Amino acid sequence: MTSEVTGERLAGLARYGSLHLLDEVDSTNDYALSLAGKNSTAIVVASRQTKGRGRFRRPWFSDEESLAASLLVHTDVPDFPHPSFLTHLAGLALSRAVEQTAGLPTQIRWPNDVTLGDKKLAGILCEGRRNAVAVGIGMNLNQQSLPEDLPEAVSLSMATGRQWDKFYLLEDFLREMFASIEQSGKGGSAQVLADLKQRSAIMHRRVEIQTFLRRHVGTVVDLDPEGRVVLRTDSGRLVVLSAGDARKVR
Ligand code: BTN
């Protein structure tokens, strides 16, 4: 199903920035970054991406049933949170948006996945250029099944048995995202951090975290104020990690 976008919905989305609705694009993040420097917020949504990418430049599966969108924000404005925190704010906003729209409790698998049960529902990819960051969100939305090489993924339809309007979900995401940006930039980051911990899929869990350099195994004991994971490794050391792939282990 391709969502029909109504005038009312368009107006709702356009309140947050200039709106670019595309049938096909290589990557909504690239398109959004090409708009950087104009100093205006932009929202880019595509029905199809030919070169959608995930973290570590992995290919990202998306089709017409997906939500594939990027929000371009400019970071050199007063009270703007640190750009490295945007991934966490986007995870929180997406998790809240799914809860509000579909009534499902999702979790945030640090640093950039939104999960349902232990399956991946959505991913976030933040990329910067000059004074701007493209916050890319990719969600499996209305698929009845997903490619066989993605056994650990789920769509919102597979979880709920019904179809969802991607623009409705996107509007919920944007509202939550801007609220979190404002809260975080205006001294409310302690509350944002508490909310992130509360929704975390890995807090106090035993995990394996693969970074560029090595694999760490241990228990997550905290998220620090920069959103980094504090891990007590099996050998008893405390390590602080700012990026990596986390997966629960026994
Ligand atoms: C990940 O889980 O590795 C992040 C996936 C991010 C995918 C989205 S889809 C919209 C935007 N455009 C891209 O090319 N990637 C992001």
Q: What is the pLDDT along the chain (250 residues), one digit of tens a residue?
A: 445 678 888 899 999 999 999 999 999 999 999 999 888 999 999 999 999 999 999 999 999 999 999 999 999 999 999 999 999 999 999 999 999 999 999 999 999 999 999 999 999 999 999 899 999 999 999 999 999 999 999 999 999 999 999 999 999 999 999 999 999 988 888 999 999 999 999 999 999 999 989 999 999 999 999 999 999 999 999 999 999 999 999 8
Spacing, Cα 52 to ligand 1 middle (Å): 6
Tell me if 65 sits within 8 A of 169, measured CB to CB.
no
Best probe residue, ligand 1, of 27, 45, 125, 210 (max atoms within 8 Å of C-beta) = 125
d(CA 90, CA 156): 18
Strand 206-210 relative to strand 107-109: parallel, antiparallel, unpaired?
unpaired
55 lines ligand 1 (CB under 6 A): yes
Alpha carbon of residue 246 to chain centroid: 15
Q: Distance, CA 128 to ligand 1 centroid (Å)?
A: 14
* Interval between CA 55 and ligand 1 midpoint (Å): 7
- pTM for this model (two decimals): 0.95
Q: How far is ligand 1, taken at its centre, from the CA of residue 225, in Å?
A: 25
